[in-house]
Chains A and B, each alone.
Chain A
Amino acid sequence: MSAAPTATPASASVTLTREGNRLALAGRLTISHAQALEQDLAAALAETQGPVALDISDVERIDTVGAWLIHRLLRDRPGSTLAGTSPEAERLMAQVSAADTPCAIRPEPRPFLPRELERLGAYMIEFFRTTGASLAFIGITLFTAARVLVSRRGFRWNSVFIQMEQTGVNALGIIGLMSFLIGIVIAQQGVVQLRQFGADALVINLVGRATFRELGILLTAIMVAGRSASAFAAQIGAMKLAEELDAMRTIGLDPIEVLVLPRVIALMLMMPLLAFFASVLAVTGGGIFTWISLDIPPATFVQRIREVVPMSDFWIGMSKAPVFGLVIAVIGCFQGFQVSGNAESVGFRTTLAVVQAIFLVIVLNAFFAVFYSQLGLN
Chain B
Amino acid sequence: MRGSPPGAGPAPVITVRNLVVRFGKQTVHDGLDLDVMPGEILGVVGGSGSGKSVLMRSIIGLQHPAEGSIEVFGRSVGGVETMQDKALTRQWGVLFQGGALFSGLTVAENIQVPLREYFDLSEDLMAQIASYKVAMVGLPAEAGPKYPSELSGGMKKRAALARALALDPKLLFLDEPTAGLDPIAADGFDTLIRTLAETMQLTVFVITHDLDTLHAICDRVAVIADKRIIAVDRISALAQLDHPWVQDYFNGPRGRAAAATTMREPGRAAAATTMREPGRAGTAGPDPQDA
Asked if A105 contacts B108 (CB within 8 A), the reply is yes
> Which of B138-146, B221-229, B233-241 lies at the interface?
B138-146
Q: Chain A: interface secondary structure?
A: helix
Asked if A64 contacts B200 (CB within 8 A), the reply is yes
Asked if A105 contacts B141 (CB within 8 A), the reply is no
Which A77-115 residues sit within 8 Å CB-CB of chain B? Answer: 88, 91-92, 94-96, 98-108
Residues of A within 8 A of B53 (CB): none
Q: Is B135 an interface residue (CB 8 A)?
A: yes
Q: A35-B120, A63-B200, A108-B145 are in contact. Are A103 and B168 (CB under 8 A)?
A: no
Q: How far is the CA of A88 from the CA of B198 in the complex (A)?
A: 10
Asked if B167 contacts A64 (CB within 8 A), the reply is no
- Residue in B125, B136, B144 whose CB lies within 8 Å of A104: B144
Asked if A101 contacts B135 (CB within 8 A), the reply is yes
Which B168-221 residues sit within 8 Å CB-CB of chain A? Answer: 168, 198-201
Residues of A within 8 A of B106 (CB): 105-107
Residues of A within 8 A of B88 (CB): none
- Residue in A35, A95, A103, A342 whose CB lies within 8 Å of B131: A103
**How far, in Å, is B98 (CB) from chain A's closest CB?**
10
Residues of A within 8 A of B108 (CB): 103-106
Residues of A within 8 A of B146 (CB): 107
Q: Is A23 an interface residue (CB 8 A)?
A: no
Residues of B within 8 A of A342 (CB): 149
Asked if A34 contacts B119 (CB within 8 A), the reply is yes
Q: A31-B168, A34-B121, A88-B201 are in contact. Are A105 and B145 (CB under 8 A)?
A: yes
Residues of B within 8 A of A65 (CB): 125, 129, 168
Q: A104-B108, A107-B106, A107-B145 are in contact. Are A99 and B119 (CB under 8 A)?
A: no
Asked if A101 contacts B141 (CB within 8 A), the reply is yes
Asked if A91 contacts B145 (CB within 8 A), the reply is no
Q: How far is the CA of A69 from the CA of B108 in the complex (A)?
A: 19
Q: Is A57 an interface residue (CB 8 A)?
A: no
**How far, in Å, is B277 (CB) from chain A's closest CB?**
22
Asked if B119 contacts A106 (CB within 8 A), the reply is no
Q: A102-B141, A103-B142 are in contact. Are A68 and B200 (CB under 8 A)?
A: no
Asked if B168 contacts A63 (CB within 8 A), the reply is yes
Q: A38-B121, A64-B200, A344-B103 are in contact. Are A103 and B109 (CB under 8 A)?
A: no
- Residue in B144, B149, B167 whose CB lies within 8 Å of A31: B167
Q: Mark B17-35, 1 if CB is under 8 A from A, else 0.
A: 0000000000000000000
Q: Is A30 an interface residue (CB 8 A)?
A: yes
Asked if A68 contacts B168 (CB within 8 A), the reply is no
Q: How far is the CA of A30 from the CA of B129 in the complex (A)?
A: 13
**How far, in Å, is B269 (CB) from chain A's closest CB?**
18
Asked if B200 contacts A103 (CB within 8 A), the reply is no
User: How many chain A residues touch B (Cβ–Cβ < 8 Å)?
Assistant: 31
Q: Is A351 an interface residue (CB 8 A)?
A: no
Residues of B within 8 A of A134 (CB): none
Q: A31-B167, A105-B108 are in contact. Are A91 and B199 (CB under 8 A)?
A: yes
Q: Mark A200-224, 1 if CB is under 8 A from B, else 0.
A: 0000000000000000000000000
Q: Mark A104-148, 1 if CB is under 8 A from B, else 0.
A: 111110000000000000000000000000000000000000000
Q: How far is the CA of A230 from the CA of B112 in the complex (A)?
A: 36
Residues of A within 8 A of B128 (CB): 68, 72, 102
Residues of B within 8 A of A91 (CB): 198-199
Q: A101-B131, A103-B130, A106-B145 are in contact. Are A64 and B136 (CB under 8 A)?
A: yes
Q: Is A32 an interface residue (CB 8 A)?
A: yes
**How far, in Å, is B55 (CB) from chain A's closest CB?**
26
Residues of A within 8 A of B135 (CB): 98-101, 103
List 28 A-B residue pairs with CB atoms under 8 Å apart, sorted by A's residue number.
A31-B115, A34-B121, A38-B121, A38-B122, A38-B125, A63-B200, A68-B128, A88-B201, A91-B199, A92-B200, A96-B132, A99-B136, A100-B132, A101-B131, A103-B134, A103-B143, A103-B145, A104-B108, A105-B108, A105-B109, A105-B127, A105-B130, A105-B144, A106-B108, A107-B146, A108-B145, A342-B149, A344-B103
What are the 6 closest A-B residue pairs judged by CB atoms, nearest first?
A103-B144, A99-B135, A103-B141, A63-B168, A104-B145, A99-B132
Residue numbers of B with Cβ under 8 A of A are 103, 106, 108-109, 112, 115, 119-122, 125, 127-136, 141-146, 149, 167-168, 198-201
Residue numbers of A with Cβ under 8 A of B are 30-32, 34-35, 38, 63-65, 68-69, 72, 88, 91-92, 94-96, 98-108, 342, 344
